[in-house]
Amino acid sequence: MTRCIPLARGVSCSIAAALLLAAAPALASENHDLTFTGDGTFVAPHGGQAIQVALYDVAAGEVVATDGGHVASDEEPAFSFTFPGALEAGRLYDVHYWIDSNFGGGSEGSCDPVNVDHQWRVALTDVSEPVSLEVAHDPAQQAPVCTSFE
């Protein structure tokens, strides 16, 4: 038989148990870092141009993190972004990114159509540990992602 001893005068055993459970640390879900880099193939076509990156939670249909910077003009990596603890194990994510290239027109600082500003989407599946993702410049693999940056 289990005997209840109240922790304080006037506190019932059921309230005391509830307080102890509430104070106990919850099992934390383990989140993982994402390191996203572009190799040297981005330097010649996009060196010095602005780049924006978004981490998109596919199931939730929302952007969970963003960052921005510039493509390097003469060194590798062409760009590198780190999203500490942004990836939750078992979830599906996309990395959306665009470069403000303004080829043949466009507006400085805004995401224009694919033929004007280069844009890509990369899927992340089976996240179970930190992810290091390196991409190469491949205009044939572009996908429209401007809505992630509105």
Domains defined for the chain, CATH in brackets: 31-149 (2.60.40.10)
Phi, psi of 47 (to 5 degrees): -50, 130
**Helices and strands of the chain, counted as H and E runs:** 2, 7
Alpha-carbon distance 91 to 116, whole Å?
32
How do residues 54-73 score in pLDDT, each as one tens digit?
A: 999 999 999 999 999 999 99
Write down the pLDDT at residue 30: 83
Please name the residue that has the structure tokens 């470069």: 99
Least confident of 14-18, 43-47, 62-66, 94-98: 14-18
Whether 120 contacts 111, CB under 8 Å:
no
* Residue 19: pLDDT over 70: no
pTM above 0.75, yes or no: yes
